Chain A
Amino acid sequence: MNAKRILISLAGIAVCCGVILAANYGLGPVAQQRAEAEQLKIMQLLTGGETFTKQDYAGDDENIRAVYATETGYLIETVTKGYADDITMWVGVSSEGEVNGVMVRDMHETAGLGLRAFTDGEFFIQTMGAAGDLEVGTNADAITGATVTSRALVKGINSACAFVTGAEIESGATEWEG
Chain B
Amino acid sequence: MKTNERLFSGCAARIVCLSAVLAVSCAALIAAKTLIPALILPRITLCLLAALSLAALWLSDGVFGARGDAIASVVLAAAAFGAASWCVGLAAPADAAVTALGGGAAYAVCLLAFTGARARIGSARLRFPRAALAVFAALAWLAAQGLAGFAVR
Contacts and interface: CB of A to CB of B under 8 A. Distances in A.
Nearest to B35: A34
B123 interface: no
A6 B87 contact: no
A53 interface: no
Contact of A5 (B10, B18, B19, B20): B10
A4 to B, nearest CB: 5
Identify whether the interface residues of B are mostly helix, strand, loop, or mixed. helix
B50 interface: no
Given A9-B16, A17-B84, A1 B27 contact: no
A8 B7 contact: yes
A30 B43 contact: no
Given A4-B7, A5-B10, A20-B88, A13 B34 contact: no
Interface in A120-150: none
Interface residues of B, number: 39
Given A5-B9, A30-B34, A31-B37, A24 B43 contact: no
Contacts of B23: 15-16, 19-20
Given A1-B69, A4-B7, A19-B23, A106 B88 contact: no
Contacts of B40: 105-107
Interface residues of A, number: 34
Identify whether the interface residues of A are mostly helix, strand, loop, or mixed. helix
Interface stretch (B72-80, B102-110, B113-121, B128-136): B72-80
Contacts of B12: 2, 4-6, 8-9, 12
B143 interface: no
Interface string B1-33: 000010111111011101110110011001101
24 contacts: A1-B10, A1-B11, A1-B72, A2-B5, A5-B7, A5-B11, A5-B72, A8-B7, A8-B12, A12-B18, A12-B19, A13-B76, A13-B79, A13-B80, A15-B19, A15-B23, A16-B19, A16-B20, A16-B22, A17-B84, A19-B26, A20-B84, A23-B30, A38-B38
Given A8-B12, A31-B33, A106-B40, 11 more contacts: A1-B69, A1-B72, A6-B11, A6-B72, A8-B8, A12-B80, A13-B15, A16-B23, A20-B23, A20-B30, A23-B30
